Amino acid sequence: MNRINVGIIGVSGYTGLELAKMLISHPVFTLTYCANTEGETTLSELHPSLLGVTDLRVDKVDLKRAKELCELVFLALPHKTAMQTAKGLLEKGVKVVDLSADYRLNQENYEAFYCEHEDLDNLAHAIYSIPELHGNAAKGAKLIANPGCHVTASLMALAPFLEHIDVTSPIFIDSKTGVSGAGKSPSSTVHYVSVNDNINCYNIIKHRHATEIEQHASVLCNDEVKVTFVPSLVPMTRGMLACVYATLKSDCDPMELMRAFYENKPFVRVRNTPPHTKMTSGTNFADVYAARHGNALVAMCAIDNLMRGASSQALANANIMMGLDETLGIPKISYVP
């Protein structure tokens, strides 16, 4: 099989590092271009864990050079910067997998929570993809909008039950995340003394990922879905556990529904007991579980927020985009203990 040259723009952060680690050993993709805002360094200088693994140069962002070296580029950039970069790459014929929020929402929802959208033409054809929920929608795409971590975990817990719950009744989502979800830049809220021995909720109800959950859950079930979303920051480096609480409208066995919905999905494990985040650490696995109490449903999903919630899901989508096996180059063995 012919090799496919790919690049990463925004390689400095945690998700950029995870992408680089997977692409270095990918059986088809060849990492030929890495860039950040400064350049003039190497991957092993930027990420010391890669010393002795790769000395690939890290350039200052140059879309012309990216075009010369790559057929596909992953963007691990902040919102707004991502859309500006994606637009330039797409104009040059380079495929894009965007890990930011810039192409995940329709214009109205995006501009309500982020900023004015500057690339409406590409927004119209961006493919939003969680492979288990959207199948091969990414195949042949030019632009993939990679879903967010809270949204991935929440939708994967919720999706098997959308036909069986009363969407007019309240749906509550409690999603707990590790500190790496806040990114690499330091701030007072993720300082060691703020996080250690502590747990706190943030942006409750008004969190912008609630709108992403609502928009895409509504598309999946062809009905309006509203959620009350409460995210929490917990004192661990990586991992995410989303718990969904809803009201059933039909008699069903939640675990049977889970197993049937995710049958033959290589990166979903239906657990017989509530999942632990540690079991998914460093992998693309989503571990799911559900139970009921009368007509009350509890469904949950554990993922690695940096992997399934960002980088490994982006790679799975890129594999599908390029007509490859979804599982190529993606880790399956968790960081345990």
Give CA 164 to chain center in angstroms.
26
Q: Which of 34, 70, 149, 301 is catalytic?
A: 149
Task: Provide the 3-class DSSP secondary structure of residue 59.
Answer: strand
149 a catalytic residue: yes
Report the distance separating Cα 40 and Cα 150, nearest Å. Answer: 34
Q: Are 119 and 102 in contact (CB under 8 A)?
A: yes
Strand-by-strand arrangement of the 41-42 sheet: 41-42, 57-60, 29-36, 4-9, 72-75, 95-98, 143-145, 127-128
Structure tokens at 22: 């997977």
- Let me know if 100 is exposed, middle or buried by CB neighbors in 10 A (0-12, 13-18, 19+): buried
Q: Are 295 and 247 in contact (CB under 8 A)?
A: yes
Q: Which of the residues are catalytic? A: 149
